[in-house]
Amino acid sequence: MNTTERPLGAFSQRPIDYVRRLSYNRERIMDRGFRKVRRNLINALQSGNYLHAARGSIEVKNLLATGEVSAGQLIEVIGACKGTDHHCSAHHSVPDLAVHVLKKAGWYIKFYFIEPETWFISVHR
């Protein structure tokens, strides 16, 4: 049976390994998600291209803003994070804005990107 005679909904005749490679390339998928976020976050900290969102309790909730933790120390924590330490959700008042949370070794790092800056909401233990 050639492809023109195949009924609608018929399965591909290609080898399954070939189909898997085409449909699931883990490295590319991961790079578009967590790895890109981590890379952009570290670049922002290294370049100093970041700001702090205004909020109450900033002295407790944002240790980076108060100087109790340095950008270098935070880069070490972020560098150790894996995709399983990352969560992303919509901002409560700006639904089109993705808010990222990293939780690693007792650290809680909450931030978002508004190009060209990275905005930190929370950095605390």
pLDDT digits (tens, 9 = 90+) for 49-58: 999 988 766 6
10-32 residue pLDDT tens: 344 555 554 455 444 444 433 45
Other Cβ atoms closer than 10 A to 72: 9
What band does 99 get if pLDDT is binned at 50, 70 and 90? very high
**Global pTM?**
0.71
CB 112 within 8 A of CB 121: yes
For residues 53-67, average pLDDT: 79
CB 87 within 8 A of CB 100: yes
pLDDT of residue 90: 86
For residues 71-88, average pLDDT: 96
Cis peptide before 15 (omega within 30 of 0): no
Please indicate whether residue 81 or residue 60 has the higher confidence score (pLDDT): 81
Domain ranges of the chain: 13-124
Q: Which of 24-28, 40-44, 65-69, 96-100 has the lowest mean pLDDT?
A: 24-28
CATH architecture group of domain 13-124: 2-Layer Sandwich (3.30)
